[in-house]
Every structure is written in C-alpha cells, then in structure tokens.
Amino acid sequence: MWRYLVRRLIAAIVVLVGVSFVVFLVLHLTPGDPAQVLLGPRATPDELVRLRQELGLDRPVLIQYARWASHVLRGDFGRSIMQHRAVLPEIIRRFSATLILTAGGVMLAFPLGTLGGIVAAARQGTLVDRLTTTAAMLGVSMPAFWVGLLLIITFSVHLGWLPGTGMYSPTGSGGLTDLLVHLILPATTLALVPLSIISRLTRSSMLDVIGEDYIRTARAKGLSDRAVIGKHAFRNILVAMATVFGLQAGFLLAGAVYVETVFSWPGIGFMMVNAILTRDFPLVQGGVLLVAATYVLINLGTDLLYAYVDPRIRYG
Amino acid sequence: MASSGGQAVAQAIGEALPRREIGVRPATSWQRFLANRWAIAGAVVVLVVVLAATLAPFLPLRDPNVTQPARRLSPPFSPGYVLGADHLGRDLFSRVIWGSRVSLLVGVLSTSLAMSVGTTVGLTAGYYGGRADLLIMRGIDILMAFPYILLAIALVAALGPGLLNAMIAVAVVNISFYARGVRSAVLLLREQEFIVAARAAGATEGRILGRHVLPNILAPVLVFVSMNIGWMITETAGLSFIGLGAQPPSADWGTMLADGRQFITVASHVAAIPGLALFILVLGLNLAGDGLRDAFDPRLR
C-alpha cells in the first residue's frame, strides 16, 4: 500500500509539472508582447529592449519556464497586470469562493443522485423508475447557464424569494445565513448535470449488481429488500461510485465557471474569464495552475479511495 | 465482418459475447434502434433542426441582423414576431433558426476534428506500442489532468476569443477521450488471429491498420461521436455565453443568451428562448445517441 501511495504521488507530481509547462507554454505562445502592453504604444524601441531584458523575455523559453516555476514553488505567482496586486492572495480568495459553491453542488448532487439511482434500480420498470430516468435525461441535456438564468427569472425576478447575484448582500451583515441564501440557486444550477449523471450511473451499476448470484442468495435466505439493496448491493457498487464521484467533483469545480458568470459569484472561474478578456496573463496562469493542481489531487484521492472501499484491490 | 463493431467493444471490456438463443432470430442493430421510441423521437427532433438550418436562406424569414427599434423587446406572439424581438428589435424566431446553423456546424466540425485526431493518436499508440505509446499516453494524461473547461479557457486565452478558436479548444479537450478509447480497443485487436494472419500473409502496416483494425473500431467510435456531439454544442455555446466564443452580433444561441441576460427583469424571453432551442437540440441528440449506443453496443449500457 505504501509503495503504491508513493508511486501515485510521484506520478501526480510529474503530471503537475507537465500541466504547469503546458500552461506556461500556451500563454507564452500568445501573440502580443507583454513589454509593449506594460509600456503602452508610445514606448521607444530602446525602452522595449530594456524591459524585455529586465523581465527575462529575451531568454530561451525553457530558462523562462524554470524561472517562473521556481518563483511559483516559493509561492510567488507574479503580479496581476490589471490590478497591480500580487496574484497569490487574489487567487486564494477567489478559489475559496469557488470551493464554497462546489461544496454546495457536491452536497446536493452526490446524495440525491445516489439515492435517485438506487430507488430507480430497486423499482425497475415502475413509474418511479421512469420518472427518475426521464428527469436525468432532461438534466444532462440542459445547459447550466440557461438553467441558471431560468432560476433567476423565476425565483429572483418574479417571485422575489431568493437573491440572484453575488455571494453576500451589499447591505447585509455578511453572516452565514446570508451566504446560504445566496448559495441556493447557484448550487442547484451547478448540481443539476452531475446529479443526473450520478443517478444514471448508479442505476445502471445497481442493475448489474442486482443480477448477480449472491443477491439472489441473499433474497433466498429471506433478507428484506432494504437489507439486500442497502447492504449487499450497495457495498458492491461503491467502487464504481468512487470513480464517478472523483470525476464529478472535478466536473463541478470546472462547471463552476459558467455558474459563477451567470450568478456573478466572485469565484476563480469568473475571475479567469475576466482576466482572459483583459489579457491579464499572470492571473490566468495562477488560476489555471491552482485549479489543475486541485483536480490532480482529487484524482489521486479517488484512486486511494478505491483501495479503501474495495478490499479486493491490493496494490504491490 | 459485419457485426465486428459490437464484438470489438465486447472484447474491449473483456467479456464474452452474449450467446444467441437457438431458434430466435436476433434483431439487427437497426431493428433495435427503430424499436426504441425515445431514440426515434430524438432523431426526428435532430432531423427537423437540420432541415430548418439547411433551408434557412430559403425560408420567408426576416434578416436576423436587421434592427427595428420600435419593436424592441416585443413579447412572443406579437404580430409578425412569433417569438418576439430582442433588445435591438431583431426577430428572435429568425435568429433562432439562423443560430441553429452555427450550433450544428460547431457540433459537426469540432466532433470531426476531435474524432479524427483522437482516433489517429489512439491507433498509433495502441498499434505500435512501446516508446511511442508511452510518450503519447503520458501526454494524454497531462491533457486529462486539466479540468476540461479550464483547458478550453487556457486555449482560448492563447488563441484569442472567437467562434473558430472556441471550437478548436472544445475539440482539443475531447481528443484525449477518443485517443484513450481507441487505444484500448486496438490493444486487444492487435493480438487477434485475423490480424496476426494478415501480418503473416505479408500485408503492409498501412493495409493492416486501414483494412483490418480501423473497420473494427469504427462502430464504437461512431457511437461515442453520437453521444459526444450534443456536449460539444453545449460547451461551445457556453464559451460564447461567457464571451470567449462567437462575438456579437452573430446569431449564435450562446451569444443571444448572453445578450438577453441583461434584460431578464423586463423581457425574460430574450434569454429563455435561445436556451430552450439549445436544450431541445441537445436533448434530441442525446436521445438519439443513447438509442444508437443501446442498439449497437448493448454491453456499454
């Protein structure tokens, strides 16, 4: 187990280095000269050459990457071009807002999706099953940004029950209640697609398991439906569920980009979209790197979770 | 080699093919598809959208870009404006129809791009194996380590906002799925007797790949395409919605949604209608795609 853990950790680090290089390279190949942007259109050629030297832009790409990477490792993500502030505190502040939103989505999507899938599978072919399956089909086909707008139109504009923008009321106390009230609509929007996917996958893996011999045995020895589904079958779909949860957690984190834009949620996705439109690359770089690192960690966690939920999996 | 597609997938997931019952003539894949009411409904929806998109220039529609300030924000069912008008008084019905061309084109082009590149990469990695495989798959791992929207966003950041670039970004993000799937199918095929026989008979590598390997992975790849295309359309519309894809004033559903967003307090239909169009098309594609998968790859369900 320990050897496996170490191997997976090393692999994760290799992937992260690769990710950081891709991010650096992609943005480095962008047309447009940062020195020109910083100095403005009236800069003289001499000034441009000097600033490029100062910023190290005249060095080979690999050297530039190494410099940037060594700064990043020391927690220095550079300074935002538009906001003239350090990138790191900004992306951490924004990222925590995104994590709150993602957590809200996870808390809705995971339990409800699992429950929906199990109920549909246990009652296969009944009205409940058909309703759940249809709802899930509609759910996966709905664009999140559209659902968000519909929720705002219904619950904020027409009914006036819930706020449709921001994380706190501008005049409010900024307490937990205020946050939760603001979280309801965006978290629901974010949860919709993963909820549907999870319920579909739970249903199909449950149906696979229900066909197995040991389930028939459990039924034959007189166990209640609840015990058969809840104990015997459920434990055996956990491995499949771990994969789905890992994938969907990453999906939620990424899907937050649209939801944050619709609801003006001050998260990292909303920040990155604006940073791209204003060509503020240090901010984009830092943001992408932070989210990608979290994503790699989630995947690593999923792999380790396998070994925990399924005692049959042993790694040398 | 007619039913070889399903066979490839069955082998790809390491299970024996379901045994045929004696005396019962098994339904063909198309018969199974045609018996699925939901799949047919989806296919009909898609067909209607394709027809509307193709015929848009010949239909008696207003120019989707002509503004009519007097009619601005007209509600649906206004005289002459079935779906109402947007904030510049442009006919929403006409814009929705013209917008379907953008969405379909985006879906077809970005899916074809992802499929062709991904399949080539997967074929190369799976068939040749060794160092090429190792290098390619590590690259794919890195691509997959990005949350997909972030990778698309980073690419759009580098290429600059625009519909073409958004499409390329969405396609690149999907290459890894095709490459992985094709590679694992090829790995199993490579050791099959008919491939070994072809090699023993002196067939060239190109001939083996083109005539023996490719036809056997085509069906699962095409099934994946049918399930992937709706997603591609949604994602590209999403990039347009956040301002990184198609730019105003083009009649694109994502851009229309973004435009309408500013007026949801006074005229919610301007944002709701293009989203509804997107939802209907994607739902149709997903229903048809699910039906195709169930009919052609029953084991993938």
- pLDDT, one tens digit per residue, over A249-279 is 777 877 788 899 889 888 888 888 888 777 7
pLDDT value at residue B44: 92
The CA distance from B205 to the nearest CA of chain A, in Å, is 32
What value does the mean pLDDT take over residues B176-184?
A: 86
Which two structure tokens, joined as six digits, stand for A284?
A: 């984009």
Strands annotated E in A208-263: none
The minimum CA-CA distance between A54 and chain B, rounded to whole Å, is 23
- Contact residues for A9 (Cβ-Cβ < 8 A; gap 6+): A300
Q: Which residues of A touch B261 (CB under 8 A)?
A: 149, 262
Rg, C-alpha atoms of chain A: 24
Task: For residue B204, give the amino acid letter.
Answer: T
Contacts of A185 (CB under 8 A, 6+ apart): A148, A151, A152, A155, A156, A162, A163, A164, A263
pLDDT score recorded for residue A80: 78
Residue B139 CB partners (closer than 8 Å, separation 6+):
none
Question: What does the pLDDT look like over A57-105, one tens digit per residue?
Answer: 777 878 888 888 888 888 888 777 777 788 888 888 899 989 899 889 8
CATH topology assigned to domain A91-309: MetI-like fold (1.10.3720)
Q: Which of A301-315, B88-102, B229-243 has the lowest mean pLDDT?
A: A301-315
pLDDT bin (cut points 50, 70, 90) of residue B143 is: confident
Interface test with A, best of B242, B266, B269, B281 (most A CBs within 10 A): B242
A1 band by pLDDT with thresholds 50, 70 and 90 = low
Whether B169 shows a pLDDT value over 90: the answer reads no
Chain B residues near residue A31 by CB distance under 8 angstroms: 160
For chains A and B, count residue pairs whose Cβ atoms are closer than 8 Å: 131
Contact A137 B283 (CB under 8 A): yes
- More confident: B114 or A160: B114
Per-window interface: A 76-105 vs B, CB < 8 A: none
Closest-approach residue (CA) in chain B for A193: B231
What residues of B are in contact with residue A153 (Cβ under 8 Å)?
Answer: 264, 268, 271-272
Please report which confidence band the pLDDT of residue B24 belongs to, taking 50, 70 and 90 as the band edges.
Answer: low
pLDDT of residue A140: 86
Closest CA to A190 of A138, A243, A132, A263: A263
Nearest in space to A281 (alpha carbons), one of A88, A73, A28, A40: A28
Pick the most confident of A15-29, A32-46, A149-163: A149-163
Instruction: Find chain B residues with C-beta within 8 A of A299's C-beta.
Output: 145
Residue spans in chain A of domains classed CATH 1.10.3720.10: 91-309
Residue contact A15–B141, C-beta within 8 A: yes
Per-residue model confidence (pLDDT) at position A312: 64
| Mean per-residue pLDDT over chain A, rounded | 81
CB-based contact B157 A281, cutoff 8 Å? yes
Q: What is the distance in angstroms between the Cα of B196 and the nearest Cα belonging to chain A?
A: 33
Residues 147-186 of chain A with CB under 8 A from chain B are: 149-150, 152-153, 157
